[in-house]
Chain A
């Protein structure tokens, strides 16, 4: 009662899957790197935001300084020079010395030149209509005052002090007062602009704080979410691994218990003397032999899985005659399944080149593929094995493809990504009570990859599956011509 025999018809895909330990490390490492990258991106984004807003605040400050503070400074200088213009004129009143008159007149004129230049600069920099209006008014009032000032100066220099004082009191004071009012208005405008700029800077600062706070908060939340997701994923995977390991243990125990029960029962019958006839003893011996072989195979499969996990051991690789190995494997498989009515059809393309690898491992790989096909071939009880040279997806590489085809129930698409994973068993297979360890295809895949090949699958639910082993052609291999053989229960084309 072989394991495959006990499994009966194929009802679901084989395999039981658990994530290997190195996957955890890889996942954790990648997740950590991803998390670090994410946090780095977030920190960079925060930094960029902060820098942008700070630069904007800085620009606003500069604008405020250049636009208002400097303007206020210029207006203050303008106010000083207007006072100087008038002060120098009045100083001239305080002396009778014509030379001092000339000196004070000179000072007054120098100051009024500076004022006129300042007003011109103000008008050139005026941005709003209000500023322009005030500037023009100031220019007009200043011109009026200068006319009066000139007359006052002339009177002083002529020696007509009384006339100069009268002129200054009647016209000079008023016109100068208008100038002062204009300057005070300009100062008020600049004050308002400075206040506006200050409020802009405040708004920008507040905005910066809110943005940085928001982005930092979001970053923190996302980082926490990422950590939580990773931890949850790890925990979930750990739980899944534990579950798969329990299922695997149960499956293996079941697989071992059945033959052990048969062996124990047969041994008891023989020990109790119930089996006396020679034919019965022979029958019981055959049963014990069969069950022992099944147990051995199971243990071998488990050990092989562990062995095939090390894919770097290429030391034992040699040039392999694929045709011979294929025939041998098909022959052995046909012997096992022909009694159950299974038919295995072998087709080897002529001139099939050799490959490089381990002969026993390759035989185990092919055997697993064929046994898998037999196990799930359903009512058709037909398995096709075809070896032929094929093109590779990798450029410049030639390969040999060995396709094992069955016409069984096929595999559902969602299951396809998992069927090569170790210990994976689909829920349908478990429900149908098809026994297995979930290691067959995984072992086959590991062997294929160890020989620089790979295993692929194409399947349609209810129509069957094709598992294809892709092996690279050995560079120094010679083409080999297959020999026609026919195994029992098998057909070779």
Chain B
């Protein structure tokens, strides 16, 4: 029969070995990610091709995304398009434009719609492709896409006079994860 001291010693050793292995794996995970193309890392703000707006300031963009502006200069109603929670693009917008987390975001729109301070309820789509097609179909729509997902069906607007990839462009997105 093994003694309790021996069992205890064995368990401590196993714990130490496990801890070492875990440390190593975390250490590897914290290695710098490989360099990604700029289009993969930049988040583009996109509107319908018929939208006359070509650039917005970050402050105006925030007002639009917060639903505080109801119409575009041409009179078209603004329709805000968001990706479903979990998408890095959504996380990037929440942090970079809204400066909110998911809860604050939801609360903002629930409160705003209830009080009438918010004019636009965001449409939530499951995929970037859905976002792109939505914006293509709705003249007043505005949304965001990873720059590499942008095509000719939508128009990218400047933020603070900068396009994605320009120096000083503020909206970036983490690397794409497999969902």
Contacts and interface: CB of A to CB of B under 8 A. Distances in A.
Query: Which secondary structure dominates where chain A touches chain B?
Result: helix
A154 B130 contact: no
Nearest to A155: B138
Interface residues of B, number: 17
Contact of B138 (A99, A106, A158): A158
Contacts of A160: 77
B137 A98 contact: no
B133 A98 contact: no
Interface in B127-168: 127, 130, 133-134, 137-141
Interface string A157-182: 11110000000000000000000000
Contact of B125 (A98, A150, A159): A98
B121 A98 contact: no
B59 interface: no
B130 A99 contact: yes
A101 B121 contact: no
B42 interface: no
Contacts of B137: 102, 105, 150, 153-154, 157
A158 B133 CA distance: 13
B123 interface: yes
Contacts of A102: 125, 130, 133-134, 137
Interface-centre pick from B126, B133, B137 (highest chain A CB count, 10 A): B137
Nearest to A101: B134
B139 A98 contact: no
Interface string A258-277: 00000000000000000000
B54 interface: no
18 contacts: A98-B81, A98-B124, A98-B125, A98-B130, A99-B125, A99-B127, A99-B130, A102-B125, A105-B133, A106-B133, A150-B137, A153-B138, A154-B137, A157-B79, A157-B137, A158-B77, A159-B79, A160-B77
Interface of B: 77, 79, 81, 121, 123-127, 130, 133-134, 137-141
A103 B138 CA distance: 14
The 5 tightest CB contacts between A and B, nearest first, are: A98-B123, A157-B138, A102-B133, A105-B137, A158-B79
A153 B124 CA distance: 17
A249 to B, nearest CB: 116
Contacts of B77: 158, 160
A99 B129 CA distance: 10
Contacts of A159: 79, 121, 123
Interface-centre pick from B79, B124, B140 (highest chain A CB count, 10 A): B79
Contacts of B141: 157-158
A154 B121 CA distance: 15
A277 to B, nearest CB: 153
Given A98-B125, A102-B125, A159-B121, A154 B133 contact: no
B142 to A, nearest CB: 12
A106 B130 CA distance: 10
Contacts of B126: 99
Nearest to B132: A102
Contacts of B127: 99
A214 B123 CA distance: 81
B6 to A, nearest CB: 61
Interface in A76-106: 98-99, 101-102, 105-106
Nearest to B123: A98
Contacts of B81: 98
B121 A157 contact: no
A489 B150 CA distance: 136
Contact of B140 (A98, A150, A153, A158): A158
A101 B81 CA distance: 13
Nearest to A106: B133
Given A98-B130, A153-B137, A157-B79, 20 more contacts: A98-B81, A98-B123, A98-B134, A99-B126, A99-B130, A102-B130, A102-B133, A102-B137, A105-B137, A106-B133, A153-B138, A154-B137, A154-B138, A154-B139, A157-B134, A158-B79, A158-B138, A159-B121, A159-B123, A160-B77
Nearest to B126: A99
Contacts of A105: 133, 137
